Structure 1
Amino acid sequence: MNKNDLVAAVADSAGLSKADATKAVDSVFDSITDALKQGDEIRLVGFGTFAVTDRAESEGRNPRTGEKITIPASRQPKFKPGKGLKDALNG
């Protein structure tokens, strides 16, 4: 499922026009992104938790040349599924 499919599913499920569903989906994505940028955690009970983890600088190797390279430190988004989502997938 891509974003257009998600918008269509939201529009059908909520009885919205596709334009309104697009605004709603974009708003949710923007809100999650903004919260993660600020270092906040988003907990959606029954669905899961979005969080940010800091990744330290590390050393790697170029697979073609074997040359050592430095992988810079970065912030990575993480998602941990909640019990409700796990149960829905395995139930």
Structure 2
Amino acid sequence: MTKADIVNEIAKRTGVDKTSVLSTVESFMDVVKDSLANDENVYLRGFGSFIVKKRAQKTARNISKNTTIIIPAHNIPAFKPSKTFVAQVKEVKVD
């Protein structure tokens, strides 16, 4: 499902015009990105959490050149679904 599909589905379910829904969805994504960039987690009860994971510095190998490189410590965004969200997805039958 793409962002356009999400906008269409929300517009269909709520009766709000697509341009308003699009600006709302984009604003939501901007708020989440800005919060994570400022090292603040976003918690949505019943859905999940957008969190910042901290990766420690590590040593890696470039196998094509047979050299060692240092990967510095860094932060990455992650999503952790809520227990109810995971349970709902697990209930879906696989054919």
- The equivalent of 2:74 in structure 1 is 74
Root mean square deviation of aligned Cα = 1.3
**Which residue in the other structure is 1:23 paired with?**
23
Within 5 Å, give how 1:1-91 maps onto structure 2.
1-91=1-91
Spell out structure 1 runs of 4+ moving beyond 4 A.
none
Alpha-carbon distance between aligned partners in 1 of 2:66 and 2:85, rounded to the nearest angstrom: 42
Q: How many residue pairs were aligned? A: 91
Larger mean Cα displacement after TM superposition, 36-45 or 24-33: 36-45
Provide the TM-score with structure 2 as the length reference. 0.85
- The code of the aligned residue for 1:80 comes to K
Alpha-carbon distance in 2 for matches of 1:85, 1:17: 28
Q: Name the TM-score, length of structure 1 as normaliser.
A: 0.88
Query: Following TM superposition, by how much is the alpha carbon of 1:72 offset from its aligned partner in structure 2, in angstroms?
Result: 2.1
Structure 1's unaligned 5+ residue stretches are none
Unpaired stretches in structure 2, ≥5 consecutive residues: none
Per-residue deviation at 1:66?
Answer: 2.3
Letter in 2 for 1:44: L
